[in-house]
């Protein structure tokens, strides 16, 4: 199943810079792992914001929830999830 996910990140200003850097490094490694295994199909930055839009390909709502909740930045994210379906006019 495909899902469009918008992620808006708000890191607290009082989080120590070293801790924030460590979390971001773990986030990058995990995101790249998910991209390599095909579950994170697209990752696009939203210009001018600390946000992205992404397409995930996972087997279920529960699988997506688990994947997202394991993101190191998850505690600092606001997520908007949209399930996707093939459009009848799309080229296959």
pTM summary value: 0.93
Q: Quote the pLDDT of residue 92.
A: 75
Q: What is the pLDDT of residues 28-41, one digit of tens each?
A: 999 999 999 999 99
Determine whether domain 2-84 maps to CATH 3.30.70.1060. Answer: yes
Q: Give the domain ranges of the chain.
A: 2-84
> How far is residue 24's CA from residue 44's CA, in Å, rounded to a whole number?
16
Q: Quote the pLDDT of residue 7.
A: 98
Regions of the chain with pLDDT less than 50: none
């Amino acid at each position: 199943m495909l899902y469009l996910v918008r992620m808006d990140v708000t890191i607290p200003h009082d989080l120590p810079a070293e801790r924030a850097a460590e979390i971001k490094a773990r986030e990058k490694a995990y995101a790249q792992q998910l991209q390599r295994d095909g579950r994170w199909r697209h990752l696009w930055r939203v210009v001018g914001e600390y946000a992205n839009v992404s397409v995930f390909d996972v087997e279920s709502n529960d699988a997506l929830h688990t994947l997202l909740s394991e993101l190191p930045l998850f505690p600092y994210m606001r997520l908007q999830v949209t399930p996707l379906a093939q459009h009848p006019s799309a080229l296959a």
